[in-house]
Amino acid sequence: MADKLTPRGEDFSKWYNEIVQRAELADYSPVRGSMVIRPYGYSLWEAVHDGLDRRFKATGHQNAYFPLFIPMSFLQKEKEHVEGFSPELAVVTIAGGEQLEEPLVVRPTSETIIGYMYAQWIKSYRDLPVLINCWNNVVRWELRTRLFLRTAEFLWQEGHTAHATQQEAEEETQRMLGVYADFARNDAAIPVIPGRKSESEKFAGAVRSYTIEAMMGDKKALQSGTSHFLGQNFAKAFEIKYLDKNNELQYVWTTSWGLSTRMIGGIIMVHGDDQGLRLPPKMAPIQVVIVPIFKTDAERARVMPVVEQMRELLAGSVRVKVDDREETPGFKFNDWEMRGVPVRMEVGPKDVDKGSVVLARRDIPGREGKAFVPQAGIADAVRELLAKIQSNMLKQATEFRDANTREPRTCDEFKAAVDDGFARAWWCGDKQCEAEIKEDTKATTRCIPLEQPGGSGKCILCGKPASEIAIFAKAY
């Protein structure tokens, strides 16, 4: 643990891998492309789960569970869907010692099997809307994998809703994009840009896909959650129909939306620094770590009762841990910085004398982030500090993103911009034009932001009239 992390500026990718291993977030598994999520990393996933699940339920959704295995024939019912997913499928051909008549696909996503079930359950307009979410695992056989960011198996949630009208389904698609953006900003302290995906980047089977895009510490983009308006594509493929108020059969309108363990990769890459992970307080499994400081047994006897008292005062409202390992304070400081704990409390003999403790902020390094705080009223002081850290981390990430987002006016400026950040530019929306940009610069259209300046301009590449601004960047 004495070894320093590879600095981000030297090799961002190496820095990322080291942090994931050293903070014990995840590990490689013996199965190619599959990851093991270790307890500290899984606690982050539990925080994502809790933050989203609360928001899903507040917007009227219920959880359910659908089977892992999907008959191959189901995937083939929606043409674009099967084309999009078939190269990535894992297929069960043997079960119970026998060759299966029809191979079973391990779900890469569940639109098809859920569509099949909705067709059984939905009879009349009274049954609508159906607002269901699932927490589960999916498999997409990827060639190049990266812990959290791209793995053959990952954990996620997939929401699947059915509505009587197009308008309701479109509103739902936007509502859930809003839920993701709210979670990302307010819990994960990640300033995301909500927007529409281009035609070529949308989900296989969707009419329109929406995304939240975030800038990582290396200035590349990460698609962090998506919400899809599926129109009647799956309703028609699976015959999901209802009797409307006039007793006429109508196809439903459906949506789907998902956010995965990839979000944890985003949290690492947005907030981490050369000392390690930095966790926003709302996501941190441990919000405050207390490090006792003493040299002699006599000092120990004076320090530890105060440490225990502080722990008790905090335990009701804060996730607190005492580090009583037999290691040096220096080792412990480094270790908890690596793990991104937002606040370190130091209690030494002098603090005991003065009736105070030291609080050190993870978001502000060195002396500037340290303060002596009275022991009396410590719980309120810590809660306030955590709230400050939470908002400061969002501010830091927002400033970093904005400082690295440019509005190029020429092709050369555009190339320079996407080489080192985000470019915001007028875009004609043409597929061919998009492909050329990708070919030239390795940058892709990340999204067409929901917030548009209005008016019109000329496409940054081809110069044709453009009515929308797009965000371009290299991406994970």
Sole binder of a second copy in the list 46, 50, 324, 399 (CB under 8 A): 46
Is cis: bond before 129, omega within 30 of 0? Answer: yes
Question: Contact region for a second copy (CB under 8 A) — 9-17, 76-84, 115-123, 401-409?
Answer: 115-123
**Nearest CB to a second copy, comparing residues 2 and 410:** 2
Size of the site for a second copy (CB under 8 A): 55
CA distance 137 to 462: 42
CB 404 within 8 A of CB 219: yes
Q: How far is CA 471 from the centre of its chain?
A: 19
Sole binder of a second copy in the list 12, 85, 116, 242 (CB under 8 A): 116
Identify which of 117, 120, 104 has the alpha carbon closest to the alpha carbon of residue 65.
117
Sole binder of a second copy in the list 44, 139, 284, 386 (CB under 8 A): 139
Question: Contact region for a second copy (CB under 8 A) — 98-106, 160-168, 216-224, 308-316?
Answer: 98-106
**Nearest CB to a second copy, comparing residues 64 and 387:** 64
Question: Contact region for a second copy (CB under 8 A) — 97-105, 171-179, 211-219, 222-230?
Answer: 97-105
CA distance 135 to 8: 33
**Residue-wise over 154-173: b if at least 16 C-beta within 10 A, else e?**
bbbbbbbbbbbeeebbbebb
Sole binder of a second copy in the list 10, 11, 27, 80 (CB under 8 A): 27
Question: Contact region for a second copy (CB under 8 A) — 7-15, 57-65, 239-247, 377-385?
Answer: 57-65
Identify which of 318, 316, 319, 310 has the alpha carbon closest to the alpha carbon of residue 377.
310
Sole binder of a second copy in the list 17, 34, 186, 391 (CB under 8 A): 34
Cα–Cα separations (whole angstroms), residue 451 to 146, 196, 469: 32, 10, 9
Burial of 407 (0-12, 13-18, 19+ CB in 10 A): middle
CA distance 283 to 394: 13
Question: Please, where are the H alpha helices in 327-377?
Answer: 329-338, 349-354
Sole binder of a second copy in the list 132, 204, 357, 459 (CB under 8 A): 132
Residue 388 CB, shortest distance to a second copy, in Å, is 28
Residue 61 CB, shortest distance to a second copy, in Å, is 9
Answer yes or no whether residue 89 interacts with a second copy by CB under 8 A: yes
Answer yes or no whether residue 97 interacts with a second copy by CB under 8 A: yes
Largest Cα separation within the chain, whole Å, is 85
Answer yes or no whether residue 64 interacts with a second copy by CB under 8 A: yes
Answer yes or no whether residue 328 interacts with a second copy by CB under 8 A: no
Cα–Cα separations (whole angstroms), residue 352 to 289, 295, 301, 314, 355: 17, 14, 11, 17, 5
Answer yes or no whether residue 210 interacts with a second copy by CB under 8 A: no
Angle at the Cα of 431 from the Cα atoms of 425 and 433, rounded to 5 degrees: 50
Answer yes or no whether residue 315 interacts with a second copy by CB under 8 A: no
**Residue-wise over 97-107: b if at least 16 C-beta within 10 A, else e?**
eeeeeebbbbb
**Amino acid at residue number 360:** A
**Nearest CB to a second copy, comparing residues 149 and 473:** 149
**Nearest CB to a second copy, comparing residues 29 and 396:** 29
Answer yes or no whether residue 9 interacts with a second copy by CB under 8 A: no
Structural tokens at position 229: 């308006």
Answer yes or no whether residue 92 interacts with a second copy by CB under 8 A: yes
Answer yes or no whether residue 60 interacts with a second copy by CB under 8 A: no
CA distance 390 to 325: 28
Question: What residues from 149 to 178 belong to the interface with a second copy (CB under 8 A)?
Answer: 152-153, 155
Answer yes or no whether residue 75 interacts with a second copy by CB under 8 A: no
Residue 52 CB, shortest distance to a second copy, in Å, is 14
CA distance 218 to 210: 24
CA distance 276 to 22: 9
Answer yes or no whether residue 35 interacts with a second copy by CB under 8 A: yes
Question: Contact region for a second copy (CB under 8 A) — 90-98, 289-297, 394-402, 439-447?
Answer: 90-98
Answer yes or no whether residue 48 interacts with a second copy by CB under 8 A: no
Answer yes or no whether residue 30 interacts with a second copy by CB under 8 A: yes
Residue 345's contacts (CB-CB under 8 Å, 6 or more residues apart) are: 288, 289, 290, 291, 310, 357, 358, 359, 360, 382
Question: Please, where are the H alpha helices in 355-476?
Answer: 378-403, 411-419, 431-441
Question: What residues from 245 to 274 belong to the interface with a second copy (CB under 8 A)?
Answer: none
**Nearest CB to a second copy, comparing residues 72 and 373:** 72
Answer yes or no whether residue 83 interacts with a second copy by CB under 8 A: no
Residue 62 CB, shortest distance to a second copy, in Å, is 4
Sole binder of a second copy in the list 54, 80, 95, 324 (CB under 8 A): 95
Sole binder of a second copy in the list 6, 59, 90, 364 (CB under 8 A): 90
List residues near a second copy by CB under 8 A. 27, 29-31, 34-39, 41-43, 45-46, 62-71, 74, 86-97, 103-104, 106, 113, 116-117, 120-121, 132, 136-137, 139, 141, 143, 152-153, 155
